[in-house]
Structure 1
Amino acid sequence: MSTSALLAQLDDVGRDPRRGGYSRHVFDPAERDLRDWFGEQARARGLDVHADRNANLWAWWGGPGPDAVVTGSHLDSVPGGGAFDGPLGVAAALGAVDELRATGFQPGRPLAIVVFAEEEGGRFGVPCLGSRLLSGSIDRDTACALRDQGGTTFAEALRAAGGDPARAGADPELLGGIGKFVELHVEQGRGLVDLGRPVAVATSILGHGRWRFRFRGQGNHAGATPLEDRSDPMLPAARTVLAAREAAARHEARATVGRLVPNPGGTNVIASSTDLWLDARAPLDTTTRAVVAELTARAEEHARAEGCRVDVTEESYSPTAHFDQGLRAELTALLDDAPALATGAGHDAGVLSTRVPTSMLFVRNPTGISHAPDEHAEPADCEAGTAALARVLRRWAA
């Protein structure tokens, strides 16, 4: 079955009528439907499917073993995300297995497809949570204590999904069995459009993280409180949003506030607190840190001017990831001198890159848009990516 046909089966799963696009978050009904779909598709191909202790799904061609070749991606999304970020890599992996089987190929070493849990952090706030847990990049207690917006902890959600929070965390045996990992992903930018090529090899991922700024003031009545008597946390929060753009421009970095939540959130109520979340990233980790330090100082200044205070919490950080140079060179040669591209988007492959030999392939996105409904990949490019992935798996798993 073609990769595009596999993706078409997911068209109606998790559509978001309010935001547009898709909202698929770990363990919610839509994401569970996608997990079931993957299990059905993998078993139909004779693969052995199971969930690991961190809710990542594995489908093995033959039994697990040492020096395994692993590919895959994720099925969850950001709120109102596109159709390709994550699912393309999973569908392409299934399509690559079809291509290999059609030629009578039998792997000479263990081969698996993995679906990582909570890659986007859309429910519990920490991106790449499944791969971070697997690799020990986040400890079990910290992960299990994470809460979604409804107050449910990751431990509670994992238990409700059939997992055991007491067993979550680093899995050195499973991780140590991975000999090579490759993740195929839709490009989140216009590099391949400008190059006129359908597939690229990734070089690196910008260092990036998420920080929560909590501004605390005094809740009060919007009509009965004179301006001079207010300690309104929305004002320093708003000024910090503007300061984030200015700081990023000064440092040639990227900084975004995509979420801002006042409490209690009434139209005629001065907020008692306001939370905003900053996403900051840059080619150098020192630059990312400099942006956050500058913005923290500005936030404190703005809070004092309004009679408020601010607390800043780092919720996640991934240092700049450089993919294995040997694998990059091998993929470039194997794929007819495919161009090499860096990316500003985080991926499970980036988390794994410090533990196992890791690489990535990108498929052209004609819109250059991602994390939004206009994200796209043409069917011909999806099939080109699948063919490239099949060629890589054939070489590595022979």
Structure 2
Amino acid sequence: MGNEVGLKIEEMLCQLADATRIDGEIWRAAYTPEDKNAKNILREWIEDLGLEYREDAIGNVYGRFPGTEPGTVLTGSHLDTVKNGGKYDGALGVVTGVAALGYLKESGFVPKHSLEVVGLMEEEGSRFATGCQGSRAICGTLKEEDLEEVGRDGVTLREALVSAGYQPEALKSVKRDDIRAIVELHIEQGPVLESEQKQIGIVDSIVGIVNYELTIQGS
């Protein structure tokens, strides 16, 4: 059974990648037609597996397997990707989460806490440089003024949200207080596992990223 699930995950990753190429390169920037294509595919998978699908007001996508008691265990990753980011970066955590929840539901498992998979919006800074807008909104740290950030194409985050059909005025509704734990499966972005010939590792620290905007006057 494990082999079958693994093959299915690879097929899903290929489908997602092939549906979101620009000039042959995988590229899903936030609030673009490619982003919408990815979400439509994700919705189809989630609903076909009998899970509950929803999007929040900023564009995070969820698949839910209801539990018997309050609280949620969340898995997933970012759905967006930078230009030519490959088919695994971010998408791996989302697709495997969908497959895992579908497998658990099909097997008759009844979770104590609800299990959810999430496809997070704009984790990569694929269009808006500060990045992590989706997860920041879930934590309640994305502010109204952050919606005025201007993307690489001269469009503000607020304008991008509206043009994609989302409701920036409902930003506060995105915050979650029910999440008890989060686990993310992600590709290694370094050489350690490969050099040690290991298949998987547990992250215990992560690099911090700070963005600055500089204006230089004079010569």
- The normalised TM-score by structure 1 is 0.50
Q: Which has the larger radius of gyration?
A: 1
* 1:42 CA displacement: 0.4
CA distance in 1, matches of 2:182, 2:216: 42
Q: Does 1:145 align with 2:148?
A: yes
The separation in 2 between residues aligned to 1:43 and 1:170, in whole angstroms, is 23
Letter in 2 for 1:214: T
Q: Give the CA deviation at 1:49.
A: 1.0
Partner of 1:35: 39
What's the counterpart of residue 90 of structure 1? 94
Unaligned stretches of 5+ in structure 2?
A: none
Please say if 1:176 is aligned against 2:177.
yes
Match of 1:61 in 2: 65
What corresponds to 1:351 in structure 2?
Answer: none
> What residue in structure 1 maps to residue 140 of structure 2?
136
Q: How does 1:322-341 map to 2 (within 5 A)?
A: none
Secondary structure of the equivalent of 1:205? coil
Distance 1:75 1:64, change over 3 A: farther
**Using the alignment, how far apart are the partners of 1:124 and 1:38 within structure 2?**
23
Q: Is the 8 A contact 1:84 1:186 kept in 2?
A: yes
For residues 56 and 64 of structure 1, the distance between their equivalents in structure 2, rounded to whole angstroms, comes to 24
CA drift at 1:207: 2.0
- More strand as a share of residues: 1
Q: Which residue among 112, 116, 125 is the counterpart of 1:121? A: 125
Per-residue deviation, 1:179: 0.8
Residue 209 of structure 2 aligns to which amino acid in structure 1?
H
For this pair of structures, how many residues does the alignment match? 213
Match in the other structure for 1:77: 81
Amino acid at match of 2:31: F
The answer to whether the Cα contact below 8 Å between 2:128 and 2:149 also exists between their aligned partners in 1 is: yes
- Summarize deviations over 1:228-268 as a string: whole Å, max 9, x none: xxxxxxxxxxxxxxxxxxxxxxxxxxxxxxxxxxxxxxxxx
CA-atom RMSD, angstroms? 2.0
The counterpart of 1:25, out of the listed 13, 25, 29, is: 29
Secondary structure (helix, strand or coil) at the match of 1:209 reads: coil
CA distance in 1, matches of 2:94, 2:194: 23
Contact 1:54 1:169 in 2 (8 A): no
Seq. identity, %: 32
Asked whether the equivalents of residues 147 and 153 of structure 1 are also in contact (C-alpha less than 8 Å), the reply is: yes
Contact 2:27 2:82 in 1 (8 A): yes
Partner of 2:110: 106
The normalised TM-score by structure 2 is: 0.88
The alpha carbon displacement at 1:15 in A equals 2.2
Change in Cα spacing, 1:205 to 1:169, as seen in structure 2 (3 Å) is farther
Distance in 1 between residues matched to 2:40 and 2:95, nearest whole Å: 14
Deviations 1:66-93 (A, max 9, x none): 3211101111111231211110011111
Contact residue 73 and residue 184 of structure 1 kept, 8 A: yes
